[in-house]
Amino acid sequence: MAGGGDDKDLKPATRLVTSGRRAEWTGIPGHPGSVVSPAVWRASTHLYPDVAALNAGKPNEDGHFYYGRRGAPTQWALADALTALEPGAAGTMLYPSGVAALAGALLAVLRPGDVLLMTDNAYEPTRNIGRALLKDFGIETRWFDPQDTGAFRAAICDRTRTVLLESPGSLTMEVQDVPALAAIARERGLAVILDNTWAGPLGFPALERGADITVMSLTKHVGGHSDLMLGSAAAGERYYAKLRRTAQLLGQVVSPDDAALALRGLRTMGLRLAQETASALELAEWFEAQPEVARVLCPMLPGSPGHELWARDFAGGCGLFSFVFRGGDGAARDRFIDALNLFGIGFSWGGFESLVTPLDPAGVRTASSWPLPGMDDADRFGVRLSIGLEAVDDLQADLAQALQAWRAS
């Protein structure tokens, strides 16, 4: 599933359109039967005209027909397109979910007896991988404060082999100094895995910033329509070989139908991200002026925690941010959520519809606290918003009327 055949000098917006569309997958341009998008190849068995052709497919190389578990043009096209968007990537592996991609990346670089350092703002299912799956394999997970570079350096021991970062954190939005943390890790020979779902390669070129493996939940921005589950992990030559070997040994394969949906979503991802980002920033600024709100957690917002690092390292954002109420309790927060009309109550983000979930990170913190430093202890109840493609004025009006329900406390 390695990339290739795309002009790396093209702008990202152009590569979103052109990548993953090799002639052997779409037909000869200008000839009858050629198509814009690769077809959906549903096949478990690939047939060969003779034994010589069968043997020619045996070398375990990307893009070669062999057996359905290694994929076919639909999956190869998606991986090819994702690789073209990731500067420094040798290839991209696909997985049936973002969590599967994280687990696959971790299992590719960790062995029994190793120590994994995981950022304390990591996605809860990621934490569960450390607490359960890796523990069962004799791998110890330790957590560190995402904003304390000194604590990270001090936490490295002789058995540490890998660090997992998530920036911004998908709940509390802390931005980590990825280049600095990666430099420390490189000094000690550690592999750096980054969950880069929030910004993706358009907003944060992870491998160029020091990560060795960059993971995304394609369920979110790439899919964009809340109708598929997929994940990806991309890396340079050294770590891509490890990813590929581990994924194949685990029998990881994705549906060609889901790959086709992700390819379709990828083509418009840049436009959707631009609209969602602009709307999210406008709403974050509006929330900052509301007396009911104690803290807006949005790194794109000037003055918000982590904004300086975001402005230094990121080229874009997305529609996901959080805010915390000034005082109140869980019941008041729930009334706010229940009063919303244009926000679906549900997990995930990055789709066309706006979503809302309660923000309750205290129970999943190990090395850092909630509320965050500088916040009042009474200001602990918040929500996470995923801003979709609705008119921002309509979203703001809906949020304003829901604040009235919160005031009813």
Tell me which amino acid residue 367 is: A
- 332, exposed or middle or buried, with CB in 10 Å at 0-12, 13-18, 19+? middle
Whether 220 is catalytic: yes
Catalytic residue of the set 7, 42, 69, 393: 69
Give the number of other Cβ atoms within 10 Å of residue 77's Cβ.
Answer: 29
Q: What are phi and psi of 73, to 5 degrees?
A: -55, -30
Catalytic residue of the set 6, 120, 123, 258: 123
Whether 195 is catalytic: yes
Catalytic residue of the set 220, 242, 244, 333: 220
Q: Check: CB of residue 306 under 8 Å from CB of residue 262.
A: no
Catalytic residue of the set 195, 212, 258, 313: 195
Provide the H-helix boundaries in 67-148. Answer: 73-85, 98-109, 124-128, 135-136
Q: How many residues appear in the chain? A: 409
291 phi-psi bin (left φ>0, alpha ψ -120 to 50, beta other)? alpha
Of the candidates 346, 354, 348, 349, which has an alpha carbon nearest to the alpha carbon of residue 387? Answer: 354
Q: Check: CB of residue 119 under 8 Å from CB of residue 140.
A: no
Whether 66 is catalytic: no
Residue 128 tokens, joined: 């569960």
- Please report which helix (H) or strand (E) contains residue 113, including its range: none
Whether 377 is catalytic: no
Cα end-to-end distance, the chain, whole Å: 55
Tell me which amino acid residue 215 is: V
Q: Check: CB of residue 165 under 8 Å from CB of residue 192.
A: yes
Q: Which residues are catalytic?
A: 69, 123, 195, 220
